[in-house]
Structure 1
Amino acid sequence: MSGAGRLRAVVGVSGSPGSLATLHRAVREARRTGAEVLAVLAWEPPGGELAHRRSPLALPLADLRRDAGERLLSAVDAAFGGAGPGVPFQGLVVRGTAGRALVETADRSDDLLVVGAGPRGALRGLFPSVARYCVAHAGCPVLTVPPSPLEGELAALHRRVALRRAVDARELTDGGC
């Protein structure tokens, strides 16, 4: 149960491998400080708000919100299984962009906002950075969690498969992709 004076680690969750690593980091910080974890999954209608309002075939917002809630539950289950995180924990589904939803949720000066640092390399400039938005706009400390080296290796493997390049199974266990 959330108390007004309880420290909070607010963490963005999308279900991606990076967000699951970020969720684990938020739980470690909560365990270390006695904080509650508030896991936030931000969602928007497909195509954005304007497209949703104008579309005669748009899915009902209640269905979209329910789907977002199911994605959040799946992400928490993928991260912790049936055992759960082992700290006071709440999930929150927020309609809006990820950066804004996180900054508005982490609205106390003693909150800790935990976000993934986002992609590195060539993809970095192609997408708006939630982490940069949070660092620029948050009124509380922001902890950015770098991507796992495993994520980079997995992305390299996916590229090799997509390009139909040979993959040696020994590379999968030796750590070299």
Structure 2
Amino acid sequence: MRQRIVVGVNGSLGSLAALHRAAAEARERHAHLHVVLAWQLPGGGLGGRATYGAAVLRECREAAVEDLRTILDCAFAVRRPGVTLSGLTVRGEPGAVLVEAARSGDDLLVVGTGLRGRWLPGIRPSVTRYCLEHATCPVLAVPPNPLEAELTAARSAGWSLPYMPEEGKR
């Protein structure tokens, strides 16, 4: 059986960096690239406790599939991955979904470390940390692009462009 490189995506810059690294690993190892997007009902994990009708579930599932298509189209618009690629959308907590998707000891799980604000650690657990603690296969944690870190730092410092009124409206 051919080795699989499993990568989690959500559309963030960190997940796109992980996707490109996973594609490079798959090319180097002649492996299959398996791209996974975990989705949840509106309200996140807590939304899963609410009662939703079949129509809402179907719409959320279809939106997740469309999100995955968009992510793949954007990520590989310039250069196709050059490997066999499959995509999967799964309803659930991202960390658990990724660990389940990479259940073979021969798999390689690739995740982006992402950037976390100072308030998020107490509210939302780190997907990367969950994968590192629970995966039965090797995990490659891809750090964020340095430019992404600089942009995030600038935003959190309150930097913004000054307001420039249109000519003639003073």
TM-score range, shorter chain: 0.7 to 0.9
- Is 1:11–2:7 an aligned residue pair? yes
Structure 2 length-normalised TM? 0.84
Aligned counterpart, 2:39: 43
Calculate the TM-score normalised by the size of structure 1: 0.81
2:105 maps to a residue whose letter is S
What residue number does 1:148 align with? 145
Over the matched positions of the two proteins, sequence identity in percent amounts to 51
Cα distance change of structure 1 residues 23 and 12 upon mapping to structure 2, 3 Å threshold: same
**CA–CA distance in structure 1, aligned partners of residues 80 and 135 of structure 2:** 28
Give the match for residue 77 of structure 1.
Answer: 73
Give the corresponding residue for 2:130: 133
Kindly provide the amino acid, as one letter, of the partner of residue 148 in structure 1.
N
Partner of 1:61: 57
Distance 1:150 1:32, change over 3 A: same
Structure 1 spans left out of the alignment, 5+ residues: 167-177
Structure 1 residue 157, shift from structure 2 partner: 3.7
Cα deviation, residue 52, structure 1: 4.9
Query: When the two structures are aligned, how many residues end up with a matched partner?
Result: 162
Higher helix share: 1
The reply on whether 1:87 has 2:75 as its aligned counterpart is: no
Higher relative contact order (CA 8 A, sep 6+): 2
Alignment RMSD (CA, Å): 2.5
1:115 aligns to 2:115 (yes or no): no
In the alignment, structure 2 segments of 5+ residues that lack a partner are 163-170
Change (3 A) 1:33 1:100: same
Q: 1:16 to 1:128 in 2, by over 3 A?
A: same
Offset of 1:165 from its aligned partner? 6.1
